[in-house]
Amino acid sequence: AVNLKGRSFLTLMDFTPEEIRYMLDLSHDLKAKKRAGIQGDALKGKNIVLLFEKTSTRTRCAFEVACLDEGGHVTFLDSNSSQFGKKESVEDSAKVFGRFFDGIEYRGYDQALVEDLAKYAGIPVWNGLTDVDHPTQILADLLTIEEHVAKPLNKVKVVFCGDVRNNMSYAWMYGCAKMGMHYVAYGPQVLLDEIDKDILARVHEVAAATGAKIELCSTPECLKGADVLYTDVWASMGEEAQIPEKVKMLTPYKVTEEMIKETGNEDVIFLHCLPSFHDFETKMAKTQKDAGYDIREVTDEVFRSKYSKVFDEAENRMHTIKAVMVATIGRQN
Ligand code: CP
Ligand code: NVA
């Protein structure tokens, strides 16, 4: 039987397909429980701390609501409100957090930092996004696929369009490799060439064992037969200076109605981790537009279409993050 008690959640690469299956099953159960209005107590008496060096809506709220739903208590620290990362080393901070809390969520830049936290804290650490991974997002995406695509995961083809060397694309490679899925990174050759070779080698090794297929492609024939079209912003947090070159490179990979048609699959779904610039309703998109850059990574038409399951996906962040916490520090399961 799967037992994840005491484990950190730093990347899906640390988990077996059975362990990921367990977290997804638990997510489905916890979602049904919440829908039934049942208050849980799996985290009763547990204290968690959320460390955010980058901004967040979904991830922070998911951890807070999920923890409270199961009777736990949350402390939130952003990058300006503690000594962490400035006046105190990661090692010392981690040791202190380990004395106060039962679990730590970390969102920031460096994957090595979240690993160091786990090394020194002595309690489970959950990765809430780094420059090279976003594992809790993938759990939510897999849950959403199971709800909306009438196929087992190992028959599902995901085409990730756009910034194929960002944290979401890497996280998808890990998730698809582990679950035996078909993943296509669809973007310009210059960005495909930037995909980390060591990561790719590790992903291919896992894929060989699970039957997954991991492909890189710069031309639209790879859209054929897709079950999921996925995209993300073209410039991730901390990469805003790259917007001009990214817009130039990635405009041909903007998700459009034509791309939906090119899948040849009437049941295809569109997913996006969010936040999205699908319209010009944000300050950032407007500012960039005034400077001559259209940063919309998906058309408003697709974003609001029947294919789009992005708000189910956003909700699923909460159910899956709850599952990660209950599995690793919960009182039962
Ligand atoms: N998808 C996601 O991680 O959203 P936030 O940045 O709002 O947490
Ligand atoms: N790639 C995006 C994901 C946001 C959830 C970023 O890192 O900004």
35 alpha carbon – ligand 1 mean position (Å): 23
- The 3-state DSSP class for residue 238 equals coil
Per-residue pLDDT for 40 more than 80?
Answer: yes
pLDDT tens per residue, range 127-147: 999 999 999 999 999 999 999
Per-residue pLDDT for 181 more than 70?
Answer: yes
70 alpha carbon – ligand 1 mean position (Å): 21
* Beta-ladder partners of 313: none
Peptide bond connecting 275 to the previous residue in cis, omega within 30 degrees of 0: yes
107 catalytic per annotation: yes
Percent of the chain with pLDDT over 70: 99
Closest atom of ligand 2 relative to the 167 alpha carbon: 1
204 catalytic per annotation: no
Query: Among 220, 209, 230, which residue's Cα sits nearest to residue 157?
Result: 230
pLDDT tens per residue, range 309-325: 999 999 999 999 999 99
Q: What is the mean pLDDT of the segment spanning 245-265?
A: 98
Q: Which helix (H) or strand (E) holds 242?
A: none
Asked whether this chain's domains 12-133+315-329 and 151-266+269-306 adopt the same fold, the reply is yes
CA pair distance 63, 67, nearest whole angstrom: 6
232 lines ligand 2 (CB under 6 A): yes
Q: What is the pLDDT of residue 85?
A: 85
Q: What is the mean pLDDT of the segment spanning 226-234?
A: 98
ipTM comes to 0.99
Minimal-distance CA residue to ligand 1 atom 1: 273
Catalytic residue among 273, 288, 296, 319: 273
Q: Where are the domains of the chain?
A: 12-133+315-329, 151-266+269-306
**12-133+315-329 placed in CATH 3.40.50.1370:** yes
Q: What is the pLDDT of residue 79?
A: 87
- Alpha-carbon distances of 143 from 5, 48, 71, 223, 315, rounded to whole Å: 21, 24, 23, 22, 10
**151-266+269-306 placed in CATH 3.40.50.1370:** yes
